[in-house]
Structure 1
Amino acid sequence: RLPPQRRPLAVIHVRLDPHLVDVNVHPRKAEVRLSQERSVYGAVTRAVEAALAPYPRQEGEFPALEWPFAGVPVEPGVVREARAEYVAGGLEPLGQLRNVYIVARGREGLVIVDQHAAHEQVLFERLVGGVGGRALSPPVRVELTAREAELLEPYLGALADLGMEVEPFGGHAFLVRSLPVPLAEQEPRVLLDALLEELPRCRRLDPEAVRERLAMKAACTAAVKAGDFLTREQMQALLDDLMASWSPATCPHGRPAFVLLTVEELERRFMRR
């Protein structure tokens, strides 16, 4: 929802195949889930870039966008350049709340970060960005059931694309030869078990959607959890990584990664305005 006295700069109409939309993730239908989120994101990005291409691009630091958008006058101050306020190093961690949230100080006020959602988004972006794998020495042998082996084999290429090299080793055994670089410290069997849980949901998806779904599952499995204690250095590193990402506002599942409590909001709460 837009704050009072604010209006959208533009409206985007998106048509999707109904089979790609899950409307049952929220009891009041306030949100939906897309089965091919990255593909939709890419299509919308390309459409916006094409629509804005004829208009002059303004470079440098500025507080508001004032492009002549299709001849429609834009109210000054309608759109703030939010990302400029949250560059790497721009958030200072103050501490953890119940080892679930990082409370940080930013230029606009207090920023409360869901540590799991934030780390999940950072890992997801690195995985889909093709960071490659790190070899395990020695490789890890994993024994699966017949059903698990049958389920896994068609997706070995998809795992390799993420940097996780797994190969058959006779019978129902497999060798894990490498893990994605961002997940190199993970226990191979734990990570493989998590991905096996996700594979039945991948059967009707195209290769790009499979890669995205597996990256989401791997990132969720490896990300710091609610209840994990983080040192100040770890908090700072996570904040910097999140704000350097291309989509820091949400995790791959669409949950908020952080919320901002502005100075103005605090002043209203304390009746200073």
Structure 2
Amino acid sequence: DFDYTITGYIIKPQITRSTRNSMHVFLNGRMVRTFRLYKAIEDGYEDFIVKGRHPLAVLQIRMDSQLLDVNVHPSKWEVRLSKENQLEQLIRTEIHEILKNTVLAPKVEVSAARQTYYEPISLDTLDTDMPVQKEIQQRPVQQEPVQVQPVQKPIMEPAEVIREPEPEYIPPAEPEKPVAREKLPDMQVIGQLHGKFILCAVENGLAILDQHACQERVHYEEIRAKLNKEPVMTDCLIPLQVKASADLVQRVDEINEAAADLHISFEPFGRDLLIVRRIPLWMKEIDAESFLQDVMDSFREEREIRYARMEKKKIATMACHRSIRFNRNLTMDEMREVIRQLGTCENPYHCPHGRPTFVILSEKELTKEFLR
């Protein structure tokens, strides 16, 4: 069901803004303001930038005009879309996959006031000659120069290229090779700074690791891997109580269907309460009653349970509590073990909250600061 064709560019998460003003979305050549698509872009960046910061991105979307209603607002800045959930999921997934498979180790310039470091990456998509409105062209825009990479391959093929299979034999296509994600640079531990940072020599520079953020990432991925398996259930000595409106109590079957991924079952208990008698064992490590209340609030507000997002926040909290704290001195072997574990992670460059796990100071920049 290929209803959309997307082209665009996204910027690596080292560069962010305090507002959404640097996110631009075009629908069939028209610039629009749409909170849900802005949110989909931000969700794609969720694991890579800190809360409260916003990415830089330009997306151009072609779609069947029958799926687009531009008569929502007099200025036509706001629109209404059919199959908007499908488009949101596409944007969110593609951006996240691109960032996950891109080397994202931040490089820090000592003379940051004189030069800003960033490198744009392209959102692999179909080429397009999308027109731009005259009124948009006339607006003066001041931007930092960005070198973009050429578009090379499509996110998805449009519907019109789908054909009936040919009768003659067609040899099977070779599987597409996944984008190679480079390993962490080789790091030789030098020592520890103020009980907070691990200092390492790397090729052509110095790596500074945040020991707490590194362990957060390791523990986050370990816990998430365990939770992806069938959970071990445990009985509650005292059933957990969740406040709910009378309407929600009557819709308990609908709620349980939406909460199936949680492996829990709500039961009515009076006019405005639901109870839970069994929970996954991992909920013992958090405030389970508070978590279940969040589940209920999510269903009440959105008529769905965004379990994956709530689970991520709770896992991040669990990982934080298990990790090395600041002001703890580590031995050389302990520091090497932190680095070894970090190297096994799917995303070793950011903690679960989006902060970098390490930065690199280049030898060239250090030499320049000493006037050599």
TM-score, scaled to structure 2? 0.42
Distance 1:98 1:38, change over 3 A: farther
Instruction: Classify 1:141/1:114 alpha carbon distance in 2 versus 1 (closer, same or farther; 3 Å).
Output: farther
User: Structure 2 CA distance, aligned partners of 1:260 and 1:216?
Assistant: 28
Amino acid at match of 2:35: P
Q: Are 1:25 and 2:52 counterparts?
A: yes
What is the alpha-carbon distance in structure 2 between the residues aligned to residue 267 and residue 155 of structure 1? 58
Output one character per residue of 1:223-248: Cα deviation in whole Å (capped at 9) or x when no partner. Answer: 31542636444433332233333332
Task: Report the counterpart of residue 353 of structure 2 in structure 1.
Answer: 253
Structure 1 counterpart of 2:95, one-letter code: Y
| Structure 2 CA distance for partners of 1:97 and 1:215, relative to 1, 3 Å | same
The secondary structure found in structure 1 opposite 2:278 is strand
- Corresponding residue number in structure 1 for 2:182: 83
In structure 2, do the counterparts of structure 1 residues 201 and 68 end up closer, same or farther at CA, with 3 Å as the change threshold? Answer: closer
Matching residue within 241, 244, 250 for 2:344: 244
Q: Which residue of 1 aligns with 2:93?
A: 39
- Give 1:12's aligned amino acid: Y
CA distance in 2, matches of 1:41, 1:93: 34
Q: Distance in 2 between matches of 1:102 and 1:194?
A: 36
The answer (yes or no) to whether the contact 1:194–1:221 under 8 Å persists in 2 is no
8 A Cα contact 2:195 2:330, kept in partner: no
Equivalent position of 2:308 in the other structure: 211
Q: If you compute each CA radius of gyration, which structure gives the higher value, 1 or 2?
A: 2
Which of 120, 123, 145 pairs up with 2:216?
120
In the TM superposition, what whole-angstrom CA distance separates every residue of 1:20-59 from its partner, at most 9, and x where no partner exists? Answer: 5469925xx6879xx98963534657995667xxxxxxxx
Residues of 1 paired with 2:294 and 2:195: CA distance? 28
Measure, in 1, the Cα distance between the counterparts of 2:37 and 2:294.
17
- Match in the other structure for 2:138: none
Shift of 1:128: 5.5
Gaps of 5+ in 2: 1-7, 11-23, 27-33, 43-50, 58-87, 102-121, 127-148, 153-179, 270-274
Report the alpha carbon displacement of residue 259 of structure 1 after superposing the two structures with TM.
0.7
Shift of 1:112: 1.4
CA distance in 1, matches of 2:193, 2:228: 32
Name the SS of the counterpart of 2:338 in structure 1: helix
Partner of 1:110: 206
What is the number of equivalent residue pairs in this alignment? 217
Matched residue, 2:9: 12
Quote how far apart the aligned CAs of 1:12 are. 1.4
- C-alpha separation in 1, matches of 2:266 and 2:329: 38
Q: 1:42-88 deviations in whole A, cap 9, x for unaligned? A: 4657995667xxxxxxxxxxxxxxx9977xxxxxxxxxx9935x25x
How far the C-alpha of 1:94 sits from its partner, in A, is 3.7
Residues 149-190 of structure 1, C-alpha deviations (whole Å, 9 max, x = no match): x89967753345xxxxx56699635434433xxxxxxx8242
TM-score, normalised by the number of residues in structure 1: 0.54
Q: In the alignment, what sits opposite 1:264?
A: 364
Change (3 A) 1:108 1:142: farther
Counterpart of 1:56 in structure 2 is none
In 2, the alpha carbon distance for the partners of 1:30 and 1:188 equals: 35
- Is the Cα–Cα contact under 8 Å of residues 194 and 218 in structure 1 kept in the other structure? no
Distance 1:216 1:105, change over 3 A: farther
Which shifted more, 114-123 or 256-265?
114-123
User: Aligned pair in 2 of structure 1 residues 270, 204: CA closer, same or farther (>3 Å)?
Assistant: farther
AA matched with 1:265: E
Q: 2:366 & 2:360 partners in 1: Cα distance?
A: 11
The one-letter amino acid paired with 2:326 is G
- Once residues 142 and 228 of structure 1 are traced to their aligned partners in structure 2, the CA distance between those partners, rounded to angstroms, is 39
The answer on whether the counterparts of 2:243 and 2:293 sit within 8 Å (CA) in structure 1 is: no
Summarize the Cα distance change of 1:267–1:250 in structure 2 as closer, same or farther, 3 Å threshold.
same
Structure whose residues are more often helix by fraction:
1
What is the distance in 1 between the residues matched to 2:260 and 2:345? 26
